[in-house]
């Protein structure tokens, strides 16, 4: 292999690495915009997020990756439909009713609606 071939190959490798770094940077910025803040974004060192290379959210890449892990773990622990309905109906803030659509039979009510119903003339 001649010296010019080696030089051309190295130049191609540098260009590929630069392209890869640019793509990685783009993806990290997109992920930063999408990911909510988690416990991973709380720096132990207050100067950590002021370092060069901090993202628009003031997190660094390590904090971003920690937040990504926490977000994926919390997504795996999402409540079931039954748990979600139970949680919604336990509210004292909003009035909600669950009905069976085919018969319009009431299946459940929020605590607020139950309280209102107790005080009504229909109780």
Asked if 35 contacts 25 with a C-beta cutoff of 8 angstroms, the reply is no
86 backbone dihedrals φ, ψ, rounded to 5°? -60, -40
Q: How far is CA 100 from the centre of its chain?
A: 33
Provide the residue ranges of all domains of the chain, joining segments of one domain with +.
3-76, 81-118
Q: Is 100 helix (H, G, I), strand (E, B) or coil?
A: strand
Q: What is the pLDDT of residues 10-26, one digit of tens each?
A: 999 999 999 999 999 99
pTM check: above 0.75: no
Q: What is the pLDDT of residues 49-91, one digit of tens each?
A: 455 568 888 888 888 899 899 888 887 787 888 888 888 888 8
């Amino acid at each position: 292999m001649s010296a010019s071939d080696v030089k051309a190959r190295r130049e191609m490798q540098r260009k590929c690495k630069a392209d890869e770094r640019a793509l990685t940077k783009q993806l990290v910025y997109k992920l930063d915009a999408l990911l909510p803040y988690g416990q991973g974004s709380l720096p132990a060192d207050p100067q950590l997020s002021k370092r060069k290379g901090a993202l628009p959210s003031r997190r660094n890449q390590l904090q971003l990756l920690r937040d990504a892990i926490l977000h994926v773990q919390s997504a795996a622990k999402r409540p079931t439909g039954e748990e979600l309905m139970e949680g919604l109906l336990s509210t004292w803030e909003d009035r909600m009713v669950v009905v069976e659509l085919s018969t319009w039979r009431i299946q459940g009510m929020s605590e607020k609606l139950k309280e209102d119903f107790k005080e009504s003339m229909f109780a």
